[in-house]
Structure 1
């Protein structure tokens, strides 16, 4: 990016067709309080407010595709410290090296209300001057009438935008409550103790889990992470949730559950590759009579089994994520265990801030504490790391003690 654009008195960025930030000038980086390496190749949603993310999908993307340009689109950015920054956006797609890139110019409008007040004051002064004269300048009268119309239109538009923002916030809050209501409660009995933690990076999450007692000695557990964040990922997680809840609760075999979830994703996107999403998942069946853990890991971070001696073992496999390739065969792995072991399942939102070394250290150093205490220590460590790295992702983990 040349120096003139990099230091221009307006924001400039270039997006890929799927919304990744390819270029961004220093003016916009300074406004958002980010460094270049923090935003390069990140999705545009990472610098949009939640209502603006929805507005981006419903209006910006269709305008770029069908109108081949965007002019004077009002939206809101979000800085690294959470400040909302209103901007006016113009965009124009271009073909470079055989691929579509979208150049965007963003103008902050913090001073907008001040300018509107100045216009109102000028209007009042002009009206007083006109009343003091015997003759009214017809050209000035026409200008003032046009100004009234524009001000009325602007007021109506602002009211519509505010109502849209309020309604969108309410809808997202309701969707968040529905999503959290679907999560299962802890299971505690003489055989097993299961706890979980769930924290969405936005109002809605792409992570989902469930654990169910099938009979007196069998327990089904599943943890999924749908690609991406926000509304689209959350909708997919909810459709998957209703499916795996029904299958696992009926005692359907682990490989059959995974195959049906895989088929469901392929059916969702068979006619729309642009909307395609994949999903990592780990699914387990614990039999406390047989003392076995049968599991399938489809592209998910490996679960960790800590035996009664404190040794750690990964529940790993080479199966690709759900929704990637059709016709995959899902094979169940079996792990025998002895009493006193502990199981830890998690999504990549846990390992990204903690790292595998810190995570294994936490498990080793807290083998003798209850899983409730371990859960609190992991949560506190996540919060400490989040403050240090200033980057958030959906976070979810499950702890299981086998007594």
Structure 2
């Protein structure tokens, strides 16, 4: 048998031993108390009962100490690391034999013997060779004691039990080998998937990274965090020299590698079509993008929600494709509000073959110091430990507080507010925030 397989079985044995010995230790304590209370008036006749249950306590302590020592020494050879397992079985069988010789009822010793065998097979994975030899030795001792009192039926039962337990031991060992082999394959598969996710995340990050020029018309701040490895959120900035001409933020349906790959596929489509069709109405640009994405992603079912902005000096054109409404901050009157809380300008999602696309645009002006805050679902749908959502109201309050602070600190303050609400609980969606300020 491969060494790594034996090491895995030993590790599992040590874990099971901890459970088994705690149970036996507790049982021994309880029975010692019960015996003391029940037979306190005539302790001499029942001293062996007390010694027998004390044996559970002492053997449990010894086995646990040896198991702890083995755990701290993974470099020990396999036979030495298996010592706690062998000791546990030896003590359990020893207690059953001792009960046989001192008990007046042969059935009680046989019952303990059977229980010990079951515990050894169910709780501990022991090599059949060791288990069968040890079991056979104790069987001979037990049968000799039973023969001396003329209990032929119990002898036959003990021999039959030994045969059955030996066969079960073989089956148990074979099952364990298959289990650990499958577990090894599964762990290898999981490790491969994790490496692929890491590679996909690295490639995605490489695609999204580009050096932004020093812009003269707008300031930009952004943050994006994937739920796990690869992100289904996509954000991009469309520039011309030192001018910011547009911004896109999109959320691909689903999670994992598939949604991450879609972000890499559609990023170039948005870039190309935005610049090539700059003079066309923005709603028409979205129609062109939608048609091209449907053609290029073929049978991939993922679709996108998102916002595409086009900037011409102070004028902002916006198409909202089924995405959360952005928040506008007006510096002149120090007001924060959702741009389209009633969803008057909401359009259809992008890249979904089962619906007829419909895109409409809206326009608004931005003055010096005004800001627009774009975000994905993962922000307002962030949950705390009680499964309460962060929600639009809390988000708007956080934005109102943040926009009063220096621009470079605003996203950090928003994330801090969200973190205090969620108590840093793990989230089920990617989180992206983009802030654009007119300068």
Alignment of 1:348 with 2:392, yes or no, is no
Quick check: 1:206–1:233 contact (8 Å CA) kept in 2?
yes
How far 1:234 moved relative to its partner?
2.2
Residue 119 in 1 paired to residue 125 in 2? yes
Contact 1:265 1:278 (8 Å CA) reproduced = no
TM-superposed CA distance for 1:128, in Å, is 5.6
C-alpha contact 2:214 2:242 (8 A) present in aligned 1: no
Aligned to 2:295: 267
Contact residue 321 and residue 349 of structure 2 kept, 8 A: yes
Asked if the contact 2:318–2:362 (Cα under 8 Å) also holds between the matched residues in 1, the reply is yes
Equivalent in 157, 182, 188 of residue 182 of structure 2? 157
CA contact (8 A) 1:214 1:249 kept: no
Counterpart position of 1:23: none
Unmatched runs of 5 consecutive residues or more in structure 1? 1-113
Over 3 Å counting, the alpha-carbon distance change for 1:284 and 1:149 in structure 2 is same
Measured after TM superposition, the shift of residue 376 of structure 1 is 0.9
Q: For residues 264 and 373 of structure 2, what CA distance do their matches in structure 1 show?
A: 23
Between the aligned partners of 2:122 and 2:287, the Cα distance in structure 1 is: 59
**Separation (CA, whole Å) in 1 of partners of 2:437 and 2:213:** 10
Q: Using the TM superposition, give the Cα deviation of residue 352 of structure 1 relative to its aligned residue in structure 2, in angstroms.
A: 2.0
Secondary structure of the structure 1 residue equivalent to 2:360 = coil
CA distance change for structure 1 residues 338 and 140 in 2, over 3 Å: closer, same or farther?
Answer: closer
Q: 1:52 aligns to what? A: none
The offset of 1:122, in angstroms, is 5.1
Unaligned runs of 5+ in 2: 1-119, 140-161, 383-389
Task: Provide the residue aligned with 2:34 in structure 1.
Answer: none
In 1, the alpha carbon distance for the partners of 2:168 and 2:335 equals: 81
Question: Within the alignment, does 1:337 sit opposite 2:363 as a pair?
Answer: no
- Higher helix share goes to which structure? 2
1:240-319 equivalences in 2 (<5 Å): 240-248=266-274, 250=276, 252=278, 253=280, 254-267=282-295, 276-288=301-313, 291-309=314-332, 310-316=334-340, 317-319=345-347
Q: TM-score scaled by structure 1?
A: 0.60
RMSD: 3.4
* 1:178 and 2:203 correspond: yes
Higher strand share goes to which structure?
1
The structure with more radius of gyration: 2
1:312, CA displacement in angstroms? 3.3
Q: Is the 8 A contact 2:273 2:289 kept in 1?
A: no
Please name the residue that 1:217 is paired with: 243
Report the equivalent of 1:22.
none
Work out whether residues 339 and 402 of structure 1, in 8 Å CA contact, stay in contact via their aligned partners in 2.
yes
Are the aligned partners of 2:128 and 2:166 in contact in 1 as well (CA < 8 Å)?
no
Q: CA separation in 1, counterparts of 2:222 and 2:265?
A: 21
Separation in structure 1 between the aligned mates of residue 169 and residue 381 of structure 2, nearest angstrom: 58
Contact 2:125/2:176 (<8 A) preserved = no
Deviation, structure 1 residue 398: 0.2
CA spacing shift, 1:345–1:220, aligned 2, 3 Å: same
Report what 2:101 is aligned to. none
5 Å matches for 1:3-402? Answer: 118-121=124-127, 123-127=129-133, 149-184=174-209, 188-248=214-274, 250=276, 252=278, 253=280, 254-267=282-295, 276-288=301-313, 291-309=314-332, 310-316=334-340, 317-324=345-352, 326-353=355-382, 354-387=390-423, 391-402=427-438
Distance 2:328 2:370 in 1: 7
Query: Residues 312-334 of structure 1, C-alpha deviation per residue, up to 9 Å, x if partnerless?
Result: 35443121212346553433322
Find the residue that maps to 1:322 and give its secondary structure.
coil
- Distance, in Å, in 1 between the alignment partners of 2:328 and 2:171 is 72
Question: How far off is 1:155 after superposition?
Answer: 3.1
* Counterpart secondary structure, 2:221: strand
> Normalising to structure 2: TM-score of the pair?
0.56
Q: 1:184 to 1:344 in 2, by over 3 A?
A: farther
- Rounded to whole Å, the distance in 2 between the matches of 1:190 and 1:399 is 16
d(CA) in 2 for partners of 1:387, 1:177: 28
Helix, strand or coil: the match of 1:119? coil
Contact 2:121 2:172 in 1 (8 A): no
Q: Distance in 2 between matches of 1:210 and 1:149?
A: 56
Q: Is the 8 A contact 1:282 1:296 kept in 2?
A: yes
Corresponding position of 2:27:
none
SS of the residue 1:384 aligns to = helix
Instruction: Give the 3-state SS of the residue equivalent to 1:182 in structure 2.
Output: helix
Question: How far off its partner does 1:397 sit?
Answer: 0.9
